Amino acid sequence: MLFKNNFTVSRLGRKSMNLIFLGDIVGKSGRRAVHQHLPDLIERSKADVVIANGENAAGGFGINEKIYLALRESGVDVVTTGNHVWDQRDALVFIDRHPRLLRPLNYPKTTPGKGFVHFETKAGLRVLVINVMGQLFMGQLDCPFRALDEILNANPLKDVCDVICIDFHAEATSEKQGIGHFVDGRASVVVGTHTHVPTADYQILPGGTAYMTDAGMCGDYDSVIGMDKTEPVQRFIRKIPEARLSPALGEATVCGLAVEIDETTGLAVNIAPFRVGGRLSPTFPDFWE
Tens digits of residue pLDDT in 69-127: 999 999 999 999 999 999 999 999 999 999 999 999 999 999 999 999 999 999 999 99
Residue 136 lies in a domain: yes
Tell me: the pLDDT tens digits for 175-220? 999 999 999 999 999 999 999 999 999 999 999 999 999 999 999 9
Residue 287 lies in a domain: no
Residue 118 lies in a domain: yes
CA distance 5 to 207: 15
Q: Is the pLDDT of residue 42 over 60?
A: yes
Confidence (pLDDT) at 289? 79
The CATH number for 224's domain is 3.60.21.10
| C-alpha separations of 85 from 29, 96, 108, 262 in Å | 19, 13, 14, 32
Residue 21: name the closest of 41, 43, 36, 44 by CA. 41
Residue 69 lies in a domain: yes
Q: Which structural domain range is residue 41 located in?
A: 3-279
- Strands 254-262 and 268-276 turn out to be antiparallel
Residue 4 backbone dihedrals phi, psi, to 5 degrees: -125, 125
Tell me: the pLDDT tens digits for 220-274? 999 999 999 999 999 999 999 999 999 999 999 999 999 999 999 999 999 999 9
Query: What torsion do the CA atoms of 69, 73, 79, 81 make, to the nearest 10 degrees?
Result: -40
Residue 286 lies in a domain: no
Provide, rounded to the nearest whole percent, the portion of the chain with pLDDT above 70: 95
Q: Is the pLDDT of residue 10 over 80?
A: no
Q: Is the pLDDT of residue 13 over 70?
A: no
| C-alpha separations of 146 from 4, 133, 263 in Å | 33, 12, 27
Burial bucket for residue 97 (CB in 10 Å: 0-12, 13-18, 19+): exposed
pTM of the model: 0.94
Residue 164 lies in a domain: yes
Residues sharing a CB contact under 8 Å with residue 63, sequence separation 6 or more, in sequence order: 54, 55, 57, 79, 81, 85, 88, 91, 101
Q: Is the pLDDT of residue 2 over 70?
A: no
Give the pLDDT band of residue 1 (cuts 50, 70, 90).
very low
| Mean per-residue pLDDT over the chain, rounded | 95
Residue 188 lies in a domain: yes
Give the pLDDT band of residue 49 (cuts 50, 70, 90).
very high
Q: Which of 35, 37, 84, 98 is catalytic?
A: 84
CA distance 34 to 168: 21
The count of structural domains within the chain is 1
Residue 76 lies in a domain: yes
Q: For this structure, is 196 an active site residue?
A: no
